[in-house]
Amino acid sequence: MTPFLIAGLIVVAALVVWVAIQNSHGQRRAQGVESQMSELRRDLQTMATAQAQSAGQIASIGQSVTQRLDSVTKTLQDGVSQSAQIAAQSQTSMVEQLKNSQQALGDIQKQLGAVQLAGSQMSQTAQTLQSILGGAKTRGTLGEVTLERLLEDCLPRDRYERQYRFRSGEIADAVIHLRDLMLPIDSKFPLDAYRRIAEEGEEARRAFATAVKNHADVISKKYVLPDEGTLPVALMFVPSETVYYELLMTSDAKSLPLDEYCRTKNVVAVSPNTLYAHLQVILMGLRGMQVEENAKHLQASLAGLHLQLEKFSEPFGKIGTHLKNAAQSYTESEKRLDKVEGTLGSMLGVNSAVQLELPSDESPLLPGVNKQSA
C-alpha cells in the first residue's frame, strides 16, 4: 500500500506546485502593473512641473494618462479573472485527482484482500497435501491409486492385474499380461529425499540418488523373474512429475545418470505422463496380437473348410460321373427313340395308303389271304 500512497502524494504535490507557479505568474503580472503605475506617477509629476508651460500639453497628457490607466485597469481585471479561473480549474482538477486516487486505493485494497484470501487458501491446501503425503504408507497408497487409474483408463480389465503375488511371495503393485509374458510395475515415491534437496543441497541430492538406485535394485531383484513368465524388464512408476524430472537430471557419484543406472538393472523409470504413453503403445501391441490371433483362427477355419472341400470333392466327382453316364445313356436312348418313332411313323404311313386302295364293301384282308381266296 505504501508505494501507491507515495504516488498519490506526489500527484497532489505536483498539482500544488502547478498552482503556485500560476500564482507566481499572476504576481509577476501585478508587479508589472505596479511598475507601470509608478511610471505613470512619475509622468504625472513631470507633467505637474510642466503644467505651467502648456495647459494644452497637460490636457493631452491627462487624457493619455487616463487612457493608459483604463488599459492597465482592464489588463489587471483580466489577469485577476484569469487567475481566479485558473485557481478554480486547479482546485477542481485536484479534487478529481484525489477522488481517483482514493478509488484506486480502494480497488488496490480489495485486490490485496483477495490475494491474501487466495494465499490463505493455498496455504491450507499445501498443509492438507503435506499432511496427506506425510507418511510413507500414504504416499505408497497415492502412487498405487494413480497407477490403478492409469491402467483402468488405458487397458482392458483382463489385461492387467493388481497386487500380483510371485512364487517367492513378493507382491508387485501391478502386472500387465502380454500373451504368455508379464510386465511388472512397482510404484516408488522418494518424496522425503526430494524435499531435502531444496534445504540441504548437494548432500541431499546424493541421498536422493542413493534412494532411487536402491529402489531400482529392489525392483530388479524382486520382479524381473523370467522363470516365472515376466519380461526381462520392469517399470518403476514415480507418481510425481517433479520428482521424475529430478531423477532425470540427477547423476550418482560416478556421474552416471540415474535413469541410465535403472536401465542397467533392467528397470525403466516412468512418470504419469510417460507411463500413459507406454500404456498406449502396449495397447496397440495388444490389439496387434489380437488381430494376429484372429488371423490364426481364421486361417485354421479356412484350413478346416479346405479339408471339408477335399472330402466333398470325391463324392461330388462320383456324382458327376454318374450324371455324365446318365446323360450319355439318355442321349443314346433319345437317339433310339427317334429311330423307333421314325420306323413307327413310316409303318403307319404305309398302312394308311393300303386302306385307301381297298373297296368299300370288302373287308380289309391281308395281302396273302386275298390272293389265296381269289
Please provide the DSSP assignment of 231-269 as one string: -S-EEEE---HHHHHHHHH-B-TTS-BHHHHHHHTTEEE
With a cut of 50, say whether residue 374 has pLDDT above it. Answer: no
Highest average pLDDT, of 26-40, 66-80, 260-274, comes from 260-274
Position 231 confidence tier, pLDDT thresholds 50, 70, 90: very high
pLDDT of residue 84: 66
Question: Which one-letter DSSP state was computed for residue 227?
Answer: G
236 versus 357: the higher-pLDDT residue is 236
With a cut of 60, say whether residue 303 has pLDDT above it. Answer: yes
Question: Which one-letter DSSP state was computed for residue 230?
Answer: B
With a cut of 60, say whether residue 86 has pLDDT above it. Answer: yes
Three-class SS state of 184: strand
Q: What percent of the chain has pLDDT over 70?
A: 68
pLDDT of residue 234: 93
| Residue 336: count of CB within 10 angstroms of its CB | 10
Out of 85-89, 157-161, 307-311, which region has the weakest mean confidence (pLDDT)? 85-89
For residue 115, CA distances in Å to 7, 118, 123, 130, 367 come to 22, 5, 12, 22, 145
Mean pLDDT of the chain: 76
pLDDT of residue 126: 44
Q: Which residues pair with 181 in a beta bridge?
A: 178
Out of 75-84, 194-203, 279-288, which region has the weakest mean confidence (pLDDT)? 75-84
With a cut of 60, say whether residue 246 has pLDDT above it. Answer: yes
Position 128 confidence tier, pLDDT thresholds 50, 70, 90: very low
Say whether pTM exceeds 0.75: no
For residue 120, CA distances in Å to 10, 124, 129, 133, 307 come to 33, 6, 14, 20, 79
With a cut of 60, say whether residue 1 has pLDDT above it. Answer: no
Question: Per the structure block, which three cell numbers stand in for 4?
Answer: 501507491
HSE-CB of 207 using CA atoms within 13 angstroms: 15
What phi and psi values does residue 52 have, to the nearest 5 degrees?
A: -70, -25
pLDDT of residue 187: 86
Cell numbers 470325391 correspond to 314
| Distance from C-alpha of 258 to C-alpha of 213, rounded to nearest angstrom | 7
pLDDT of residue 236: 92
Report strand pairing: 181-187 vs 234-237: parallel
pLDDT of residue 290: 77
pLDDT of residue 221: 92
With a cut of 70, say whether residue 79 has pLDDT above it. Answer: no
pLDDT of residue 233: 93
| Distance from C-alpha of 332 to C-alpha of 94, rounded to nearest angstrom | 133
Summarize the confidence of residues 351-355 as an average pLDDT.
59
R_g (Cα) of the chain, nearest Å: 61
| Distance from C-alpha of 123 to C-alpha of 206, rounded to nearest angstrom | 30
Summarize the confidence of residues 24-37 as an average pLDDT.
70
Question: Per the structure block, which three cell numbers stand in for 317?
Answer: 466327382
Q: Which residues pair with 43 in a beta bridge?
A: none
Three-class SS state of 38: helix
| Distance from C-alpha of 264 to C-alpha of 233, rounded to nearest angstrom | 10
Question: Per the structure block, which three cell numbers stand in for 121?
Answer: 487458501
Position 346 confidence tier, pLDDT thresholds 50, 70, 90: confident
Summarize the confidence of residues 318-339 as an average pLDDT.
83
Q: Which residues pair with 182 in a beta bridge?
A: 177, 230
Domain formed by 135-288, architecture: 3-Layer(aba) Sandwich (3.40)
Three-class SS state of 185: strand
| Distance from C-alpha of 358 to C-alpha of 355, rounded to nearest angstrom | 6
pLDDT of residue 51: 60
221 versus 303: the higher-pLDDT residue is 221
Digit-coded pLDDT (tens) for 45-72: 776 666 656 556 656 766 776 777 677 6
Q: Element (H or E) spanning 225, and its range?
A: none
| Distance from C-alpha of 239 to C-alpha of 142, rounded to nearest angstrom | 8
Report the sign of the C-alpha dihedral through residues 40, 42, 43, 49, in that order: positive
Report strand pairing: 171-178 vs 160-165: antiparallel
In terms of Cβ atoms closer than 10 Å to its own Cβ (0-12, 13-18, 19+), residue 212 is: buried
Question: Which one-letter DSSP state was computed for residue 363?
Answer: P
Using alpha carbons, select from 108, 124, 94 the residue that is nearest to residue 5.
108
Max distance between CA atoms of the chain, in angstroms, equals 220
Summarize the confidence of residues 13-29 as an average pLDDT.
71
**Degrees, nearest 5: CA angle 287-293-294:** 90
Digit-coded pLDDT (tens) for 147-163: 888 888 888 888 899 99
pLDDT of residue 132: 42
